[in-house]
Amino acid sequence: MTAPTKPPHTSPADPASGRPSGEHLHAPVIDWFDENARDLPWRRPEAGAWGVMVSEFMLQQTPVSRVLPVYEQWLARWPRPADLAKEAPGEAVRAWGRLGYPRRALRLHGAAVAITERHGGDVPADHAQLLALPGIGEYTAAAVASFAYGQRHPVLDTNVRRVFARAVTGVQYPPNATTAAERKLARALLPEDEPTAARWAAASMELGALVCTAKSESCHRCPIAAQCAWRLAGKPEHDGPPRRGQTYAGTDRQVRGRLLAVLRDAHGPVPQSALDRVWHEPVQRARALDGLVADGLVEPLAGGLYRLPLT
């Protein structure tokens, strides 16, 4: 995400409206961000809207440290959507490497094709047009509109949701899935003017990533610790539904990753026998391969051969 130009701090809402107000949160969080924001390539002006979009696809469920090298290689190879759109979708999957959740690569390729066909190769600034692109959901549309174009949208990723849950709602963790109440709160906390709102979106996300983390939160470094409802309540333990863990070893995801690794490294179609060697359990291996084919990540050919998709 880019870091919008620093604006003056303003009040987000009319106190008479009865809505939660972020006025007491905006200035300290944005000032903290101005001093502590990481220098990330997608935040630099030269990244443009396409660089922001690529980063948002890659950063979903993937840490920055793993994204950085793939992001830089991707933008060097495909600096504009039209450059990616000219390639086969399998090349996007190949370049995705080991980022995980490779369907994101296909979705990003599909978005690049649509941007090229519908918008002359330029990532649209209009939120509705962004949302209409294949593979773009509410979060990504809001993130691109905010971080690339400085617009006023609530940008709710896991980090922002955790900051709001603690600072405003007073609970340790947000629900497993984003709720209507969270969206309403995020809209209520938005500063009224667009530049400040865009800066707030970036700053609250960075606060969750660096300070208000899921584990070992650093309240002594938090610019809003004195106002944090969760801290003031004595940091009550989470009492909601169990938080979902991210298991990997032995799962179909692991098998899918190993199968794709063979196909990414190959210069042509791969025989079934080469895929059979990557996992010992034949039923799980077949299920994982069938899933990759169904998701459009692998293309079966005659003679028991497989390749990354060309169309």
Segments of the chain assigned E as strands:
270-271, 299-301, 305-307
How many residues are given for the chain?
A: 311
Catalytic residue among 35, 56, 182, 237: 56
Cα first-last separation, the chain: 30
**Rounded to whole angstroms, how far apart are CA atoms 140 and 146?**
10
What are the CA-CA distances from residue 41 to residues 68, 71, 198 (Å)? 8, 9, 18
Of 198, 136, 287, 156, nearest to 7 by C-alpha is 198
What is the three-class DSSP state of 292? helix
The token duo for 193 is 């003017």
Residue 91 annotated as catalytic:
no
Q: What angle do CA 182, 183, 186 make, to 5 degrees?
A: 85
Q: Which residues contact 294 (CB under 8 A, 6 or more apart)?
A: none
- Greatest CA separation found in the chain? 71
The answer to whether the CB of 82 falls within 8 A of the CB of 119 is no
> Phi/psi of residue 50, each to 5°?
-65, -40
Q: Which residues contact 12 (CB under 8 A, 6 or more apart)?
A: 21, 22, 23, 26, 188, 189, 190, 191, 192
Of 240, 116, 267, nearest to 174 by C-alpha is 240
The token duo for 74 is 């991707």
Dihedral (CA of 168, 169, 172, 178) sign: negative
Q: Which residues are catalytic?
A: 56
